[in-house]
Amino acid sequence: MKRSVIDILDLSTEEIESLIATAQDIIARPAEYAHACAGKKLATLFFEPSTRTRLSFEAAMYELGGNVLSVTDAATSSASKGESVADTARTVSCYADIIAMRHPKEGAALVAANAASIPVINAGDGGHCHPTQTMADLLTIRREKGAFSGLTIGLCGDLKFGRTVHSLINAMARYPDNKFVLISPEELKLPSYVKKDVLQEKGIPYEQTTSLEAALPQLDVLYMTRVQRERFFNEEDYLRLKDSYILDAAKLKAAKGDLCVMHPLPRVNEIATDVDADPRACYFKQVLNGKYMRMALILKLLKEAAQ
């Protein structure tokens, strides 16, 4: 049966476990999967800029032996002629077996999923969510920390518009004994639909602070984010807030020795390059983990669609 993944909560915790197990098996035995999607086509429809997400979906499909059709820019697609997301999704369903879609509007992936006759994976819808980045983040946390519970997780930067933060909180809130430290300027605080409906609703402990330095010593995971320039209404506000937090090697001295520093990338100034050589820097491992998790997800959804 056709099934789409729009939100990380579309996958149960058992399914997340099973995707992690598949990803780990792919890492251990890549040759076993080299022809798993032979004859299948993934369409990547990206109406917003991307390097990692699109290329990692495409690399994932190639490593599964499948093929890729790609729209890399809204301006060169019929979206620029005024075609609706629903019509585009219906059309692409005639050519491909599965879609990964990124769109600047919140809810666009859901509209596509409702119209398509093939599975749709949300590769980021505006400031809303980004489930496959969260899958990359989860595999990274599992490989680095060994567990999804008992962690103090700091989220730093643009918590308002950062869709990766919203999805990661939704995912980690399902596991016991975690605490969140929300580090942002006043103007970029976590939206209340995440704070109230997820953290407060579930009674999950959290702190809010504007100081990265104050938060750092207690953290097991630090998730840095870019200030999302493209979601601001005016450039002045962006310029004022863009360098609110910069993690560098000097600040990192106050952190735990086994801190896991994450970032969905692209980074602008949030993490100085002098952090890159620190063994606690995990952001490029996250990139690779994203490819394996996307391989596991494509496999799962194509298998379910064939049943």
Strand 221-224 to 120-125 pairing: unpaired
Residue 81: active-site member: yes
φ, ψ (nearest 5 deg) of residue 204:
-85, 130
Angle, CA of 249, 254 and 259, to the nearest 5°: 80
Closer by beta carbon to ligand NCD, 115 or else 262: 262
What is the rounded distance in angstroms from the CA atom of residue 204 to the CA atom of residue 174?
10
Please tell me the chain's helix, strand, coil percentages from 3-state DSSP, rounded to the nearest 5: 45, 15, 35
> Please, what is the minimum distance in Å from the beta carbon of residue 297 to ligand NCD?
15
Q: 186: which 2 tokens?
A: 């006043």
> Please, what is the minimum distance in Å from the beta carbon of residue 226 to ligand NCD?
4
Q: 236: which 2 tokens?
A: 């002045």
Residue 40: active-site member: no
Strand 98-103 to 41-46 pairing: parallel
Angle, CA of 56, 221 and 218, to the nearest 5°: 170
φ, ψ (nearest 5 deg) of residue 273:
-70, -15
Residue among 2, 52, 142, 174 flagged as catalytic: 52
Closer by beta carbon to ligand NCD, 133 or else 170: 133
> Please, what is the minimum distance in Å from the beta carbon of residue 58 to ligand NCD?
14
Closer by beta carbon to ligand NCD, 85 or else 224: 224
Closer by beta carbon to ligand NCD, 163 or else 294: 163
Closer by beta carbon to ligand NCD, 130 or else 195: 130
Residue 52: active-site member: yes
> Please, what is the minimum distance in Å from the beta carbon of residue 164 to ligand NCD?
5
Closer by beta carbon to ligand NCD, 40 or else 128: 128
* Residue type (1 letter), 36: A
Distances (CA, A) of 242 to 155, 224, 226, 237: 16, 13, 8, 8
- Binding residues (CB under 6 A) for ligand NCD: these are 52-53, 124, 130, 133, 163-164, 226, 264-265
What is the rounded distance in angstroms from the CA atom of residue 14 to the CA atom of residue 107?
25
Distances (CA, A) of 119 to 48, 104, 108, 188: 20, 20, 14, 33
> Please, what is the minimum distance in Å from the beta carbon of residue 223 to ligand NCD?
11
Residue among 103, 128, 130, 294 flagged as catalytic: 130
Residue among 102, 166, 226, 300 flagged as catalytic: 102
> Please, what is the minimum distance in Å from the beta carbon of residue 217 to ligand NCD?
26
Residue among 22, 53, 140, 164 flagged as catalytic: 53
Helix axes 163-172, 131-145, angle to 10 degrees: 50
What is the rounded distance in angstroms from the CA atom of residue 144 to the CA atom of residue 17?
16
What number of other Cβ atoms are within 10 A of residue 278's Cβ?
A: 13
Residue 102: active-site member: yes
Residue 130: active-site member: yes
Residues annotated as catalytic are 52-53, 81, 102, 130
